[in-house]
Structure 1
Amino acid sequence: MNISVIGSINMDLVYRVPHIVKEGETLHSSSHSIHYGGKGANQAITASQLGANVSFIGKVGKDAFGNQAKGNLENNGVLTAAIKEEGSTGQAIIQVSDSGENSIVLFPGANFLVTPDQIDQEYNVIRNSDVLLLQLEIPLESVEKAIQVAANFEKIIILNPAPAKELPDSLLKKVSLLTPNETELALLTGIEPSSEEKLMEACKFLLGKGVRTVIVTLGSKGAFYINDKEHGWVEAIKVDAVDTTGAGDAFNGALAVAICRGDSLGEAVKNAAEIAAYVVTKMGAQPEFPESIKRLMT
């Protein structure tokens, strides 16, 4: 299972608060911790822990955070030869409330220095992969370049359209699996998925743009998947949430592994949901998986 991940690498500065801070409010944090993060890194480490051979294309800063973040990827089995150093390492300032919800402020740093030229230079990483997994925490032009390279090599392309932004039709028509949440789905389609009927309408809108499969993550309502052959629901797994940071990233990393090994779509979404459910029971976006969790994907 060979997966290439192109995306962000961050250091997460996490503050535990009674509730997400409101405008003009000052809150005391009950604890502060530093974790490794970035959607790309979170997804890569999830996939690597679940047995995939993962190569990463991205950038970290020429600083201590960059050395630590790159070392963390290597310690988790991710190949880092295509990670370059420039500028300052990206950071995320994260509030986690007592109820487990989170609010995030991103400083993109070196992530926004990933260029189409860098993608060109590392095209062999994509060519030697079965699946390309991307997000939107690097410049859109670099995402477009990577998707074009992968499409030229007829690779499976999984795009997690987060953070939410509008995407051109020329990009969407090359995507094998698109994995928005409710907010991202509404922005991409202009349709609020306020009912099952509206959810179906929004997904079919994207299928009409050329996306081959749409998988919508719906939090406590589970996940919905659809393509031109099938559609279905996967129920949410009830757990005691400690920190929801990285749940969507774990879902996407696990989904890439399941698709790479040839699971049916429904089974792939179910397994990804189980991995994501485990992650929210732990602090940080990159918890170490016990063997019982890894066995879900074997």
Structure 2
Amino acid sequence: MPQSTPSVVTIGELLWDMLPDGKKPGGAPANFVYHAACNGVAATAVTAVGNDDLGRELVSLLSDNGVNVSAEVNDYPTGITSVSLDANGVPEYDVVRGVAWDHIAFTDEVRGLVEQADAICYGSIAAREPQGTRDAIYAMIDAARADAVRFFDINIRSGFVDKEVISRFLDGATILKINDEELPVVARLFGIDMPDESISGQQEVMRELRDRFGLDVIILTAGAAYSIVMGHDETSILPTPKVEVADTVGAGDSFSGAFLAYLLRGYDLATAHRRAVEVSAFVCTCSGAWPAYSDALKEEQA
């Protein structure tokens, strides 16, 4: 196990999820970093909020949950997302555009944080605008240490699928996280034949993406069915636990945050995968993406 606490820096959206039962803090990288912090690493969120009460409350909440927050206050409003849930608690998102996190600047302070980090995490949602945060993510990838883990959590939402951006993000990554709905979209984007949607067919595409972009690990989540974590020397496949679902908001992000935290702390791929599955299943039993961990989950982490 490492002697010092490993660190991760995320960049991207910090926002309010407007759920049927009220507003809850969220945003994919913010969810990720919340759960990374809950799983034993030093976590920093690079983001932007508006000069408003919504933004100040978000920063305070994330800070109170053990995350260092580097939040620029700019001239745009704090982000919000309208979230509706189907009968199974699966969310649909309407992500408002033209908000603070679309305009994150890569400042000298951010550069210093990135250069010291053991890992960085970024996603495609925050790159939806052609300038601003997209450029900051590019700069973050370039500034990361050569030995840093670079975790790309692709999120194809709101119709944003840009081959140039996704290629750049994949070229800069060492780990890719993707779900079973996104995999065929990305396969088509890069001209990769997907024989079928079976586990073996998915693994064939995963191997092609891993090898084409020089990834160390590729993760596929398949909702309530299973997840696959593929390295070069081992592959772990685990069923998704059957739980009473409140909603699945942030479940994939919690999976990613727990997995990376355990990997950074020196656990092997299979152990990190089991922890990720456990955490994401727990999150599905709660409302919102930042639930307080149960005592059992804390004891398991310790």
TM-score (norm 2): 0.86
Distance 1:217 1:169, change over 3 A: same
Alignment of 1:136-285 (within 5 A): 136-139=124-127, 140-150=134-144, 152-163=145-156, 165=161, 166=163, 167-190=165-188, 194-207=197-210, 208-285=212-289
Q: Shift of residue 98 of structure 1?
A: 3.7
Indicate yes or no: 2:72 matched with 1:67: no
Number of equivalenced pairs: 278
Q: Secondary structure at the match of 1:277?
A: helix
2:112 counterpart of 1:114: no
CA contact (8 A) 1:7 1:138 kept: yes
User: What letter matches 1:198 in structure 2?
Assistant: G
Matched-pair contact (CA < 8 Å) for 1:159–1:177: yes
Structure 1 pair 153/83, CA: closer, same or farther in 2 (3 Å)? farther
Alignment of 1:131 with 2:119, yes or no, is yes
2:125 partner SS = coil
Instruction: Pick closer, same or farther for the CA change 1:153–1:197 going to 2, 3 Å.
Output: closer
Q: CA deviation at 1:296?
A: 2.5
Give SS of 1:56's match: strand
Aligned with 1:134: secondary structure? strand
Amino acid at match of 2:8: I
**Deviation (angstroms), 1:220:** 1.7
- The two structures, once aligned, show a CA RMSD in angstroms of 1.8
Structure 2's unaligned 5+ residue stretches are 1-5, 128-133
Instruction: Tell me if the contact between 1:129 and 1:155 (Cα under 8 Å) persists in the aligned partners.
Output: yes
Matched, 1:34 2:23: yes
- TM-score normalized by the length of structure 1: 0.87
Amino acid in the other structure paired with 2:12: G
Quick one: distance in 2 between partners of 1:168 and 1:55?
A: 24
Q: Which amino acid aligns with 1:174?
A: G
Unaligned runs of 5+ in 1: 16-31
Structure-2 residue corresponding to 1:24:
none
d(CA) in 2 for partners of 1:169, 1:95: 31
Task: Determine the C-alpha separation between the residues in 1 that align with 2:255 and 2:229.
Answer: 13
State the 1:189 CA deviation. 1.6
- What is the CA deviation profile of residues 201-226 of structure 1, one whole-angstrom value per residue up to 9, with x for unaligned ones? 21012112222211101112211121
Q: What secondary structure is seen at the aligned counterpart in 1 of 2:35?
A: helix
Match of 2:295 among 266, 291, 295: 291
Quick one: distance in 2 between partners of 1:226 and 1:235?
Answer: 15
Q: Quick one: distance in 2 between partners of 1:168 and 1:136?
A: 7
The residue aligned with 2:66 is 77
The whole-number CA distance in structure 2 between the counterparts of 1:186 and 1:125 is 35
Residue 170 of structure 1 deviates from its aligned partner by 4.2
Partners of 2:207 and 2:39 in 1: CA distance: 31
2:154 is paired with a residue whose SS is coil
Show structure 1 runs of 4+ deviating over 6 A.
Answer: none
